[in-house]
A and B are shown apart, each in its own frame.
Chain A
């Protein structure tokens, strides 16, 4: 009786002591971002120290994947112990933060955003016309292609829909399988891709079945038989792998692929350019990260100061010259690292044709239905107009749940 009861209690006590850590009450700013290792290095060495010195704080910065942020914030908020003071989040994943009411309203601080910051980026931080986030980093997809394959077959990277179709057909003919990658996995990647095609056809993506949408889907239907079979599993991470393995020779993806494919893997057959134009022009969705402050953040003022610091010209220059990040401000000029020059030019070009996706709280529902519509229409060859109409009705039904 004695031994086997005392023992577990003992263990339990030890564990309790192990679990309790003395909380350091001096000023710390806890922030979370999702960055590559090289990017973290620049932040920790060049960006954090001046801020820490100036405000006499310690910055604790942690990595959180964009898919995990919302649930963590929710848990911390409901438990009443918000540990995160500031976060950076992918601007495609903001709807859930708004819907769960996890973010501080930043309307009153709009004036602290410096003048030279592009106003479209500020607009992208608004939901229902209220400023809920602060701009951090604009980003846009570029097109990666296999220059060895293209040279071998005497092809040029396609600049229009017609050229895209021609290149796809030619590659399929020459190699027996499709080598153009479409992001057909579903969810946000597919929805973003369709969004761009619709814009390029002159349509309004959220209308679901206007003339532009129909034209875009018809084109995708035509293109699909010549697309790579790997498209079904292509999203932002698998696309890099598929390109590296040369299973596809052309794919659109976010610029982080540059760090992975060109810098890390040193694949010199990967080249980039800004992309193609549709019948009504070249449009690319501007993505990127934004800053947000959790609702019960303990260091609101400090967080706002940090954001102000990040918006400053000095920091923007560092981001541009060391990481090749296109700047938020129009008055920042610097030299980009040499291995980044070509992709950076592609990014700049794409940004020139950049369009901001309107922030709506029902984006996940839209992504779901447009992906399913894509499956049915493009892959299974269902009739375009009728199918789009059916899914539009489903979306309308769900939209009504978001009225708040």
Chain B
């Protein structure tokens, strides 16, 4: 029975095989291990392992972790909105321009070329107390005294979100651009001939046809926004907690692989839930339209 299926679909199977082998053996197994680890009570090597929720209890009892949860949600939300918004605007503009403005396109991709560590340091130059952002704001008279971006709390969350947005908007722009390219121009022409306004065209033609790319962008970036780790660590160290840095520090600094695993699993759960909610919300049409 199985080999009849394979025979019929041999093309598909062959296409999928490398990917499946690669991902299955290399990632799925470690992930399952991490999940198992998170449900084990910490015991010295050699002793029998037992199923327990103690790591999760431990995490949720720590104020720092609950703070990290909230921070992660806020940063992810703000970053996503900014990235997708800006990326969409840029993609729309670039898809409809020609000649001169085209030159700007590679320039907008540059932030992606800068390694995250350098982005962190540069953002440090911008957001420090005597940094460029404060200078520009005070020189133009927008604020009276410099802002403490790095003092923790909402301002620092904004700072990290902005830094992440800066680096990643080009990515969103590229994905949406690719999606916009595959929309047939004759549809626009036909709609204009029928007298449709730009807004109508956007809502009824562009947006629905762009949905697959939009979903791709939101999911790809959304997942990474939740997992954010390098920028908060570089900019704020242990002063701004997000789950990504929490898992990292638990493992690398405090030698606690169990709580680190539990944090990772919690993050995994959060992201999975968010993705499923999103998919539910946009319905069948939005996902991967034919």
> Footprint of B on A, CB under 8 Å?
1, 5, 8, 70-71, 96, 99-100, 185-187, 229-230, 232-233, 235, 238, 245, 247, 364-365, 368, 371, 375, 398, 401, 404
Contact = CB atoms under 8 A, between A and B. Distances in A.
Query: Which 10 A/B pairs are nearest by Cβ-Cβ distance?
Result: A229-B129, A99-B255, A364-B253, A186-B238, A232-B150, A186-B237, A247-B130, A364-B254, A185-B237, A186-B239
A364 B252 CA distance: 10
Contacts of B14: 1, 5
A373 to B, nearest CB: 13
A100 B255 contact: yes
A245 B132 CA distance: 13
Contact of B254 (A245, A365, A375, A404): A365
B252 A70 contact: yes
B115 interface: no
A230 B237 contact: no
B45 to A, nearest CB: 9
B253 A96 contact: yes
A228 to B, nearest CB: 8
A187 B254 contact: no
B40 interface: no
B130 A233 contact: no
Interface in B127-175: 128-130, 146, 148, 150-152
Q: How large is the interface on B (under 10, 10 to 19, 20 to 34, 35 or more residues)?
A: 20 to 34
Interface string B34-50: 00000000101000000
Nearest to B10: A1
B283 interface: no
B62 to A, nearest CB: 9
Nearest to B152: A375
B130 A230 contact: yes
B195 interface: no
B151 A232 contact: yes
A235 B237 CA distance: 10
Contacts of A233: 124, 128, 150, 235
Main secondary structure of the interface of A (DSSP, over half): helix
A401 B152 CA distance: 30
Given A96-B252, A368-B254, A371-B238, 12 more contacts: A96-B253, A99-B255, A185-B237, A187-B237, A187-B238, A232-B129, A232-B151, A233-B235, A238-B124, A364-B254, A375-B239, A404-B44
Contacts of A238: 124
A6 to B, nearest CB: 12
Interface string B246-271: 00000011111000000000000000
B99 interface: no
Interface of B: 11, 14, 18, 42, 44, 124, 128-130, 146, 148, 150-152, 235, 237-239, 252-256
Contacts of A368: 238, 253-254
Nearest to B156: A232
Contact of A96 (B11, B152, B255): B255
A11 B235 CA distance: 41
Contacts of B238: 186-187, 368, 371
Contacts of A1: 11, 14
B82 to A, nearest CB: 24
B93 to A, nearest CB: 36
Given A5-B14, A186-B237, A368-B238, A229 B130 contact: yes
A229 B254 contact: no
Contacts of B256: 401
24 contacts: A1-B14, A96-B252, A185-B237, A186-B237, A186-B238, A186-B239, A187-B238, A229-B129, A229-B130, A229-B146, A229-B148, A230-B128, A230-B129, A232-B150, A233-B124, A235-B237, A364-B253, A364-B255, A368-B238, A375-B152, A375-B239, A398-B254, A401-B42, A404-B44
Contacts of B44: 404
A404 B252 CA distance: 19
A71 B130 contact: no
A166 B242 CA distance: 39
B127 to A, nearest CB: 9
Contacts of A186: 237-239
Nearest to A232: B150
Contacts of B128: 230, 233
Contacts of B252: 70-71, 96
B18 A8 contact: yes
Contacts of B42: 401
A100 B11 CA distance: 48
Contacts of A70: 252
Contacts of B253: 96, 364, 368
B20 to A, nearest CB: 14
A70 B235 CA distance: 22
Nearest to A8: B18
Contacts of A185: 237, 239
A375 B130 CA distance: 21
A365 B249 CA distance: 11
A71 B129 CA distance: 34
A323 to B, nearest CB: 27
Nearest to B146: A229
Nearest to B251: A71
A347 B235 CA distance: 30
A371 to B, nearest CB: 7
A26 B254 CA distance: 39
